[in-house]
A and B are shown apart, each in its own frame.
Chain A
Amino acid sequence: MASIAFIALFLVVAFSYIINWRAARTISAAGERLNSVPKYHAIFAALIVGVPVLALLLIWLMLRGPFVDFLIVQGLNPDQYWHLEAGQRQLTVAEIKSISSGRVFGTPEDWKIEAAGKLAETRNLLDWLTVAIVTAAAGALLVYARIKVKDRFRARAGTERIVSILMIFCSLVAIFTTLGIIASLLVETLRFLSLVPITEFLFGLNWEPQIPIREDQVAAEGAFGWIPVILGTIVITIVALFLAVPIGIMSAIYLNEFASNGIRAISKPLLEILAGVPTVVYGFFAVLVIAPALRNAGAALNIPVAPNTALAAGGVMGIMLIPFISSLSDDALTAVPTSLRDGALALGATRAETVIGVIFPAALPGIMGGVLLAVSRAIGETMIVVMAAGLIAKLTLNPLDSVTTVTVQIVTLLIGDTSFDNPKTLSAFALGLMLFLMTLIINIAALRIVHKFHESYD
């Protein structure tokens, strides 16, 4: 049904474009001098009709779901509905919806069938109302636009004003997104903190979120201390950096200072391929190749290696970060002024001494910024750890052991579970908020460092 509304709107927009174009043409054909060429009159009409109605239509489509739910609940007999538990209420609403769209399971109670029938009627009515209102509003705006067509009317200025407003709106989407992230994480985290004290979350040493959802389920009591989870994240991040930082920086130095043009032309795109591989592929690679190899190596050396050791996840994450660190270090090395390099060489330093003694220290702030960005990537990386790291939070620093991370917990807590009323699902949002804050702080610090560094040589 929504598509009919869109088609109706499109037709009115096209119609208003043509009508205003012809009207403006008629005026100019009559010998009057137009302020704007007919094309702008036409575009103005299309925009003034299309933009507000489309915006309203999209907002209405967003709100229609919750509104229909509200109508269902209002139409129900309060005695039958309000004594139900929160989860039961959701189920009832879902059942009524599925009955009204023709999927009946079992034999539902009469009042549900009645509500479903009413819902079908309401939906039908709402759909037609939508089409009618869209057409009416678009038509009214069309009349307004048509009246505006006069020789003195500044259609171009009007068009440009609308276009400017649209562009400002586009730029604001970035801010809305950030606000949306903060709002959604904060709201759910506050709900979580009303169930679990904040001191337990921040300082607790146990993370056992598998609490019973139904009363008859057997599960642990539940503990929500995030320390072991963040510790696991740190362990994996350190393993990743141990691999990625030396290899990334060394390859950047080599490519920047020693390699011939031919080698550089081949190596850089190949490194970029490593950066372009989706992380789910890296995760599968860790499970399929790296983890069994480490386990076999551990067995050969008589060292106990956990099946999903932090070494496998961290190592593969390190591989993913190599091109990242390498390209950021490359930028930093290239930004060092040639005069510094030439000065050192002129004083008789070898190329290696120039790199170690002059260029590297000069580029160090930029490289540090790059490493910090890599840290934030490692903390926020999800698929590799979801597939290759463990699920159980352990308070350990041993990289051979199995650890879990913040992102693993977020994903496993939310897969297949939608009710937002128990601490288990809500804790994922609390972890998400902590993750967002950590990466935000690291990113801001890194961008500051890189920015400062670039300024000092400009």
Chain B
Amino acid sequence: MSNRNRDIAFAAEAVAKSLPRRNRLQIALKFAGVASILVAFSVLCLLVGSLVSNGYRAFTQTQLTIDVHVDPEVIDVEALPRGNFKRLLQTSILQLFPAVSAKVDQQKIYRILSNGAQFSLRDRIVEDPTLIGTTISLTVPASDPYDQYNKGTIKRETPEENRRLSDREIGWFDRLKEIGVVTKPFNTALFTHSDSRFPELAGLKGAMIGSFWALLVCFLLSFPLGIGAAVYLEEFAPRNRFSNIIEVNINNLAAVPSVVFGLLALAVFIGWFGLPRSAPLVGGMTLALMTMPTIIIATRAALKAVPRSIREAALALGASKHQAVLGQVVPLAMPGILTGTIIGMAQALGETAPLLLIGMNAFVTSAPSSAIDSATALPTQIFIWADSPERGFVSRTSAAILVLLGFLITMNAVAIFLRNKFERNW
């Protein structure tokens, strides 16, 4: 008896002795877990923070409002839309600096205006030729260095040789600011212009419409094909070798690197079928092949969640198997199917590599009007801008990413809303 008590006491003592060490282990493990999660979150914060701090600037654009006298001697009604509109703008801005007379300095002053200013003047006059001979007030974008200076990216404190604007150029711009010519409104051009070599003129319209066409094609192909395949495999397919092979195949397709789908599209759609390069049609077809496994897997999960009793009730009332599945089960699974489809579409919207291979990184300055026009997509536009050396494109790239993330968040929010609203617990 006493022997056993002694053993228990001994054991209790050993446990008590080891407990601090064992508890320390537990604390260390917890700490490591918390630290890992914090690392992940801080990276997420850093990612979003760097994008926002770079990108918010691109949502405004420095504009100059100048009075332009449309000189009939320079602009000929007969010759429209041709004419030396640049000359008009140069004369107008020079009037603000009567003291500057040296040719070199005048050339520099011209460069305060964006290169695209002449085109907005041209468009305005072509639209209304009666303006010729009058003086109009015109708001045009400032060129990239002055835009950067106005937004504070180029600082006056930086030594002159290290910045893109000299002291005199900054002085001229400050004078423009003093006389109230400079404004900094919301940058609508970001959404109404297509790509351009000049950052102050570049916008996302072409890329957004290109992405829209590509996603439309992707949806029209992958949604019916995905549902058809999923319904067949889940409800009708006999359990045999053949359906097994299809299933393994779909699982493997879901894990094939996206760049391989790009190679497939390049060789088959463009090389063998002769479809046009850079077209959202080909992009959408490629994305459809990649999205289909996602939709199939989501649809099968949604079909599985519909209880057997629904099928059996339909069959008991005399419905055929097709009527039971297509008429009862699939409609009940639709919220789940749609959720999966939207998530798949969101993935497709962010996909870049296959679109690069089929040439959707072309430099296109107009929005596509159909699915077979050359176009870029949002992610490829981001890639193009990220590669451009101009300072203005850094903030535009971040802004473009914010726009893309905005679309993705909206799509996922809709998916979550659908799931919460229509999900049923049977």
B37 at the interface (CB under 8 A from A): yes
Residues of A near B54 (CB, < 8 A) are 288
Residues of B near A102 (CB, < 8 A) are none
The docked-state distance in angstroms from the alpha carbon of A164 to that of B321 is: 11
The docked-state distance in angstroms from the alpha carbon of A352 to that of B350 is: 40
The docked-state distance in angstroms from the alpha carbon of A280 to that of B47 is: 13
Is A319's CB under 8 angstroms from B29's CB? no
Query: Scoring A residues 345 to 381 as 1 if CB is less than 8 Å from chain B, else 0, what string do you get?
Result: 0001011110110000000000000000100110111
Name A171's contact: one of B246, B257, B262 (CB within 8 Å): B246
Q: How many chain B residues touch A (Cβ–Cβ < 8 Å)?
A: 92
CB contact list, B26-76 vs A, under 8 A: 26, 28-30, 32-37, 39-41, 43-44, 46-47, 50-51, 54
A420 at the interface (CB under 8 A from B): yes
Least Cβ–Cβ distance between A458 and chain B, in angstroms:
16
Residues of A near B418 (CB, < 8 A) are none
The docked-state distance in angstroms from the alpha carbon of A279 to that of B51 is: 14
Is A439's CB under 8 angstroms from B231's CB? no
A420 to chain B: closest residue by CB: B271
Is A66's CB under 8 angstroms from B274's CB? yes
> Assuming the A-B contacts A277-B47, A277-B405, A414-B357, are A382 and B386 also in contact, with contact meaning beta carbons closer than 8 angstroms in the complex?
no
B224 at the interface (CB under 8 A from A): yes
Residues of A near B382 (CB, < 8 A) are 280-281, 284
Is A254's CB under 8 angstroms from B37's CB? yes
Query: Scoring A residues 171 to 199 as 1 if CB is less than 8 Å from chain B, else 0, what string do you get?
Result: 11111011011001101100000000000
B401 to chain A: closest residue by CB: A281
A417 to chain B: closest residue by CB: B359
The docked-state distance in angstroms from the alpha carbon of A255 to that of B250 is: 31
Least Cβ–Cβ distance between A292 and chain B, in angstroms:
11
Least Cβ–Cβ distance between A41 and chain B, in angstroms:
15
Q: How many chain A residues touch B (Cβ–Cβ < 8 Å)?
A: 96
> Assuming the A-B contacts A276-B408, A383-B352, are A170 and B229 also in contact, with contact meaning beta carbons closer than 8 angstroms in the complex?
yes
Name B40's contact: one of A62, A271, A348 (CB within 8 Å): A271
Is B232's CB under 8 angstroms from A174's CB? no
Q: Which of A171, A246, A447 has the most CB of B within 10 A?
A: A171
> Assuming the A-B contacts A174-B229, A276-B412, A435-B259, are A188 and B224 also in contact, with contact meaning beta carbons closer than 8 angstroms in the complex?
no
A sample of 13 cross-chain residue pairs with beta-carbon separation below 8 angstroms, ordered by A number, consists of A66-B274, A173-B229, A184-B267, A184-B271, A259-B33, A279-B352, A280-B382, A285-B51, A382-B353, A410-B259, A420-B271, A428-B263, A435-B260
The interface of chain A, by Cβ under 8 A from chain B, is 62-66, 69, 156, 159-160, 163-164, 166-175, 177-178, 180-181, 184-185, 187-188, 246-248, 250-251, 253-255, 258-259, 267, 270-271, 273-274, 276-285, 287-289, 319, 322-323, 326, 348, 350-353, 355-356, 373, 376-377, 379-383, 386-387, 407, 410-411, 414-416, 418, 420, 428-429, 432, 435-436, 439-440, 443-444, 447
